[in-house]
Structure 1
Amino acid sequence: MTAQLPLLLEPSELARHLDDEHLLIVDLCKDQVYDQAHVPGAVHLDFKRLLAGTQPAPGLLPDDRALSALFSDLGLTPDTFVVAYDDEGGGWAARLLWTLEVIGHHRYAYLNGGIHGWLAEDLPTSTEPGEPEPSDYQVGPHDPKANVDLDYLLAHHRDPDVVVWDARSEEEFAGVRAFAQKAGHIPGATLYEWTDAMDKTNNLRLRDLDTIRRELADHGIQADKQVITHCQTHHRSSFTWLVGKILGFKDIRGYAGSWAEWGNHPETPVEKPE
């Protein structure tokens, strides 16, 4: 059985485990990037399979039948250890890991820097498509602490022990740009844009974790709170969910409906800066 690797996995450490039994490496890069170079043995996954894709909230989870088919195609078993990466700094890789968290599969890691971090260390690559051995994976009960729905957020977004982490851009938060009927943000939400945690000078690896932790605390996003993170479709905020997990937050949840659902719902309150 594959050893329990750290949640934030460095490329050099993954390179030592490529032949481990029960290791499943999932590449969520663009098709052309995967075709050009990927981690040896990595299986390519189209991120669209992680989304319901239905309007007005395309970021909601697929139903359990679709999720069971997806993870069966990937060859997931209870013993599988999943390592995910992408070419954009972690958004789609994190969406896969968050989905695993939702279905109660906790054996997973994120490759720090994704394919950029791997290539920067001059590690071996492959152009041969990874071929998983299909399994018969059946999704069971969901973890209620991984995902919140609209009703939960409506009831709790103003609770003093809850902080809503908005991972969108400053323009979206302020209501200057809108991709829904309503513009602005959830009342009381705090903004920390998802790419602020990435080191753009170091192959999109995470920045120093203590620095990120201090910056989040300055925004009221702290480990002693229940943190609910969202963006437009829970793509960007899957990454901020992952950042919270890496920082050791014990109660961090994703809102899969995100602004696409909140901003198009007739009964949701909206706030904008004065």
Structure 2
Amino acid sequence: MEMLVSTEWLAAELGKPDLIVFDTTKYLPNEPFDGKAKYLEAHIPGARFFDIDVVADPDSDLPHMIPTAARFEKLLGALGVSTASRVVFYDQKGLASAARGWWLMRLFGHHAAAVLDGGLPKWLKEGRPTEAGEPLAPAPTHFTADFQAELVKGIGDVKRIIRQGGGGALILDARSKGRFDGTAPEPRPGLPSGHMPGAASVPYNELLNADQTFKDPEALKARFEAAGVTAERPVVTSCGTGVTACILALGLLRAGFPEAAVYDGSWTEWAGRPETPKAIA
């Protein structure tokens, strides 16, 4: 299964018994919307809601940190996903949070997962149908996780990378340039902006076209190379809370680079710790 699927492809595949579609929308704290409420107003026919705040570690103070493999298995099974399912994620903004669902599936060993290119805005612009309300609960099934530890990094890993300087992995930050430089505020009150020393800025929207579809692989490759990415150097992606970092992870694969790891705690964890070094422009 391709990692990125078109609206045309999805329209043709809708209704097939092995295909599951999820609205994975997560709005930022400074955005006046609720993803689940807007999903109930209009969603792609048959789509279910994938709440990244629920498919997460309930004991962490940080937002939507990855769950244990056992919790992921339980929740995905309750959502009707089995190891035989093909899963497509989309979001209401175009391509902002859908890649988090895709990345979680890969993290737990399920590669038959994709992101809808352009998301709900493209689907609506093309006049494709939607439905409202809560769908019928899916029949529970069994999902078996196969945790891929190399795809996620914790704060200890990132501290070691920074101590290694240019000899370690390259950290790519998906937040806006202003947040990275320290000239624009973070959406979470009380959190300073800035970046991890040595990180490179690759705002996720620079990987997208105006219609929120991904740019072609050649354009992505050029943008990543401009940030210092090579095939030989490991990459760790970061953002505010580990959501748009997954867009960079998807973009790197689309550009032909090796698979990156995601720093799950991202800037919210890093900036909230007094002992971590912070940099500004």
TM-score, reference length from structure 1: 0.87
Percent identity of equivalent pairs: 27
Q: Retained in 1: the 8 A contact 2:6–2:116? A: yes
Alpha-carbon shift at residue 53 of structure 1 (Å)? 6.1
Q: What residue in structure 2 maps to residue 63 of structure 1?
A: 68
List alignment gaps of at least 5 residues for structure 1: none
SS in 2 for 1:21: coil
- Give matches, 1:111-130, under 5 Å: 111-127=116-132, 129-130=134-135
Alpha-carbon shift at residue 108 of structure 1 (Å)? 0.5
- 1:37 lines up with 2:35 in the alignment: no
Give deviations 1:5-25, integer Å, cap 9, x for gaps.
Answer: x21101101111113231111
Alpha-carbon shift at residue 182 of structure 1 (Å)? 5.4
SS in 1 for 2:247: helix
Q: What residue in structure 2 maps to residue 245 of structure 1?
A: 253
SS in 1 for 2:158: helix
Give the Cα separation in 1 of the matches to 2:209 and 2:43.
21
Give deviations 1:64-99, integer Å, cap 9, x for gaps.
Answer: 343233211211211111001011232321111111
Q: Retained in 2: the 8 A contact 1:89–1:198? A: no
Alpha-carbon shift at residue 161 of structure 1 (Å)? 5.4
- Choose the corresponding residue for 2:201, options 191, 194, 218: 191
- 1:220 lines up with 2:216 in the alignment: no
Alpha-carbon shift at residue 111 of structure 1 (Å)? 0.6
* Residues 237 and 54 of structure 1, relative CA distance in 2, 3 Å threshold: farther
Give deviations 1:74-132, integer Å, cap 9, x for gaps.
Answer: 11211111001011232321111111111111110111011111122222333364432
- Give matches, 1:86-125, under 5 Å: 86-125=91-130
Q: What residue in structure 2 maps to residue 207 of structure 1?
A: 215
- 1:19 lines up with 2:15 in the alignment: yes
SS in 2 for 1:58: coil
More displaced, 147-156 or 262-271? 262-271
SS in 1 for 2:167: coil
List alignment gaps of at least 5 residues for structure 2: 26-34
SS in 1 for 2:53: helix
Corresponding residue pairs, total: 266
SS in 2 for 1:84: strand
Q: Retained in 1: the 8 A contact 2:171–2:235? A: yes
Give the Cα separation in 1 of the matches to 2:238 and 2:59.
17
Alpha-carbon shift at residue 230 of structure 1 (Å)? 0.6
Alpha-carbon shift at residue 54 of structure 1 (Å)? 5.8
Give deviations 1:107-165, integer Å, cap 9, x for gaps.
Answer: 1011101111112222233336443221133544x202210111111112424352100
* Residues 55 and 109 of structure 1, relative CA distance in 2, 3 Å threshold: closer
SS in 1 for 2:74: helix
Q: What residue in structure 1 maps to residue 142 of structure 2?
A: 136
Q: Retained in 2: the 8 A contact 1:51–1:59? A: yes
- 1:84 lines up with 2:89 in the alignment: yes
SS in 1 for 2:87: strand
Give the Cα separation in 1 of the matches to 2:266 and 2:216.
28
- Choose the corresponding residue for 2:181, options 174, 177, 185: 174
* Residues 251 and 44 of structure 1, relative CA distance in 2, 3 Å threshold: closer
Give the Cα separation in 2 of the matches to 1:127 and 1:214.
41
Q: Retained in 1: the 8 A contact 2:41–2:132? A: yes
Give the Cα separation in 1 of the matches to 2:52 and 2:191.
26
Give deviations 1:229-253, integer Å, cap 9, x for gaps.
Answer: 1112112212222222222321311
Q: What residue in structure 2 maps to residue 231 of structure 1?
A: 239
1:173 partner amino acid: F
Give the Cα separation in 1 of the matches to 2:96 and 2:253.
14
Q: Retained in 2: the 8 A contact 1:163–1:226? A: yes
Q: What residue in structure 2 maps to residue 263 of structure 1?
A: 271
Q: Retained in 2: the 8 A contact 1:145–1:251? A: no
Q: Retained in 2: the 8 A contact 1:182–1:270? A: no
TM-score, reference length from structure 2: 0.85
